[in-house]
Amino acid sequence: MKQLVEFPLMDGNNIIIEISEPEVGGTIRVGRSDKIAKAKETFEEAFGKILPVATSVFEKLQAVSSRPDEIEVTFGVNLGTECGAFIASASAEANFGVTLRWSRKS
């Protein structure tokens, strides 16, 4: 179900984001509420949970013995009212895309 969620920003402003949250249990919701849910943490706090994961992946890839000239790591991020930001997954595993590039140096 799509829902509008208001995330406070650290500078005192707010941002409203439309998120999709899975239905829980056997309840079926019909229609769309005009209420805007309030996030339990700031937008920056929510994304702060993702930063250590991205940093760890990047650091591990930099440690490859034949260090690449470029490292690209992509992953989806979902937002939720209860748990803030989390890595998106289409299955039971986390969804990461990694590209390493080496260029010939003259």
Look over the chain and give the mean of its residue pLDDT values, rounded to a whole number: 76
Query: 52 pLDDT exceeds 80?
Result: yes
The pLDDT tens digits of the residues spanning 55-92 come to: 888 888 888 888 888 888 887 777 776 666 666 655 55
CB 105 within 8 A of CB 96: no
pLDDT score, position 34: 63
Q: Domain ranges for the chain, please list them.
A: 2-101
In this prediction, residue 56 carries a pLDDT of 87
* pLDDT at 33 exceeding the cut of 70: no
Task: Give residue 24's identity as a one-letter amino acid code.
Answer: V
DSSP 8-class letter at 99: E
A 10 A CB-CB count for 25 gives 5
Q: What is residue 103's predicted lDDT score, i.e. its pLDDT? A: 83
Which residues fall within 8 angstroms of residue 40, CB to CB, at 6 or more apart? Answer: 81, 82, 84
E strands of the chain, at which residues? 2-8, 14-20, 37-38, 70-75, 77-80, 84-87, 96-101
Confidence of residue 106 (pLDDT cuts 50, 70, 90): low
